[in-house]
Amino acid sequence: MLIITCPWCGARPETEFRYGGEAHIARPADPSALTDQEWADFLYNRTNPKGLHAERWRHIHGCGRYFNALRDTVSDFLVTTYKAGEPRPENSRPDVEGSGR
Amino acid sequence: MQKFSGFELFRRALGGHKSWQPQWRNPEPKAEYDVVIVGAGGHGLACAYYLAKEHGITNVAVIERGWLGGGNTGRNTTIVRSNYLFDESAALYEHAVKLWEGLSQDLNYNVMYSARGVLMLAHNHHDEISFKRHVHANRLNGVDNEWLNAEQVKEFCPPLNIKSMRYPIIGGALQRRGGTARHDAVAWGFARAADSRGVDIIQNCEVKGIRRGPDGAVEGVETSRGFIRAKKVGVSAAGHTSVVMAMAGLRMPLESYPLQALVSEPVKPAFPTVVMSNTIHAYISQSDKGEMVIGAGTDAYTSYSQRGALHIAAHTLDAICELVPQFRRLRMLRNWGGIVDVTPDRSPIIAKTPVPGLYVNCGWGTGGFKATPGSGHVFAHTIARDAPHAINAPFTLERFRDGFLIDEAAAAAVAH
């Protein structure tokens, strides 16, 4: 089980949270201007990286708020969490990425 | 290839079993092949076998980062069934079940396909009407499936507890032709049969890149054992599909999740069928070794770690202990995780890609084992003819762009 640090509530067990998928996928400002392929990219295509992944979590059994996390998908190590709306931070733990591969 | 038979077994026993040969070669990669398949799991090996058998394309390499059958083929819970709701899915999975029925003879390898039935339990009114709808839809598609009431469920699978539980069993949908097969034997059988037709299976050979020519078409794959030229490359890499396809510059509608399974200590035959419960989230069958093979849904978050959280496995065991109280005394022997590639509509992609010469077979999510022979068969057709088989024609990459989703996510009514 992951220990996830909610930016508002602090470190809590994973069971308090719900996973929200890849972060920083902004809804297009003018959907009707998009081609079908661009709309499919927004809806369905994902980076799914083997390594650092910026992702959304929601603290459903806590403050209820969405926030973002940077996690290594190879080791499941959570590098950092940050508030929604903030830019993706630099990897503060470059030693972490790819560990346990 | 040395043919396996009772007579051969007897004859070689007289020689102390010293004359058996390896079941497949371990060749060095050649500089060029007609087709390169990435991933020597069940699906990739089946594809290579059918390319050689049905399409006469024998200059084929199956390249594998680890060892053959060491990924999800060796990590699944070996369930075979075809009771899917939608016409497209029913056709695809039923195609596979029909191949399963004759596979041991076709491969001259005992894949231990055992049609012991797959029973999906209903615990509430919604389950009941949903499963009855499945039964009718399946029968219209020529797929066997029948509704059992609670007493019939108990009669078919006596170890089940149908009454004294939080969500009592009120009935179930039974596909009698469903069942299990031996997962390793499937990989080994396809490997041996493909190898005997000239396919090179190259293990410990990791794909590092996909080389494309000036016209964008595939020229071959860069591997840890050098460049291998091929005009056609089929990717059958399961949980790592996004990683491999990114080498060709493609973003896929896939996310990779850990899916856990666990087995108990082996016991004498105690469980006659495969039982699945979506509502309380577990499924169970007994392997021929005697272990209870148990699984459920994926973990919550994407990962390539091949392990999941304990609370997911514990939740599954809670359900098993409710369903079969006598198993509360079983000890669990092993648990593990496999990385499954999940599409937004929970249906696979078996198709050409926007890159000429690059084909993909992926997105099987939590239920790819059951489709192994059928998937390999239609993927081989797609690669050989550069056009899909009628059965996999709906399972394109473009369905997400064009809005023709095959939405088994909501329809399967089970964590398949």
- Is the pLDDT at B283 greater than 60, yes or no? yes
| ipTM, 2 dp | 0.93
pLDDT of amino acid B409:
74
What's the topology of domain A1-24+50-94? Folate-binding fold (3.30.2270)
Mean pLDDT of chain B: 95
Token pair recorded at residue B3: 């043919």
Residues of A in contact with B305 (CB under 8 A): 73-76, 100
H-run or E-run covering B384: helix B372-385
Residues of A in contact with B254 (CB under 8 A): 46, 48
- For B252, how many CA atoms within 13 A lie in the half-sphere containing its CB? 34
Minimum Cα–Cα distance from A47: chain B residue: B251
User: What's the CA gap between B176 and B145, in Å, rounded?
Assistant: 7
Q: Nearest CA to B204 among B226, B188, B184?
A: B226
User: What's the CA gap between B361 and B374, in Å, rounded?
Assistant: 12
Judge whether B218 and B358 are in contact, CB under 8 Å: yes
Reported as a pLDDT band with limits 50, 70 and 90, residue B253 is very high
Signed CA dihedral, B408, B409, B410, B416: sign only: positive
Q: Where are the domains of chain A?
A: 1-24+50-94
Question: Which residue do the tokens 């080389």 mark?
Answer: B211
Nearest-CB residue to B401 (from A2, A37, A53): A37
Model confidence pLDDT, tens digit, residues B71-109: 999 999 999 999 999 999 999 999 999 999 999 999 999
Residues of A in contact with B402 (CB under 8 A): 36
H-run or E-run covering B175: strand B171-175
Q: How far is A82 from chain B (nearest CA, A)?
A: 17
- Is the pLDDT at B394 greater than 80, yes or no? yes
Does the beta carbon of A11 lie under 8 angstroms from any beta carbon of chain B? no
pLDDT of amino acid A94:
66
Reported as a pLDDT band with limits 50, 70 and 90, residue B411 is low
Reported as a pLDDT band with limits 50, 70 and 90, residue B416 is very low
Model confidence pLDDT, tens digit, residues B365-376: 999 999 999 999
By the 10 Å C-beta count (0-12 exposed, 13-18 middle, 19+ buried), A33 is classed as: exposed
Token pair recorded at residue B327: 């198993």
Q: Nearest CA to B108 among B202, B236, B8?
A: B8
Contact B400 A46 (CB under 8 A): no
Contact B253 A76 (CB under 8 A): no
What DSSP line would sit under B307-363, residue for residue? ---HHHHHHHHHHHHHH-GGGGGPPEEEEEEEEEEE-TTS--EEEE-SSTTEEEEE-
- B93-104 per-residue burial string, b: 16 or more CB within 10 A, e: under 16: bbbbbebbeebb
- Is the pLDDT at B414 greater than 60, yes or no? no
pTM of the model: 0.95
Helices first, then strands: H and E counts in chain A: 1, 6
- For A89, how many CA atoms within 13 A lie in the half-sphere containing its CB? 16
Q: Nearest CA to B130 among B151, B147, B153?
A: B147
pLDDT of amino acid B360:
98
Model confidence pLDDT, tens digit, residues A43-100: 999 999 999 999 999 999 999 999 999 999 999 999 999 999 999 998 777 666 554 4
Strand partners, B123: none
Question: Which residue do the tokens 């004859």 mark?
Answer: B11
Cα diameter, chain A:
44
pLDDT of amino acid B413:
46
- Is the pLDDT at B182 greater than 80, yes or no? yes
- 3-state class percentages of chain A: helix first, strand second, coil last, to nearest 5: 15, 35, 50
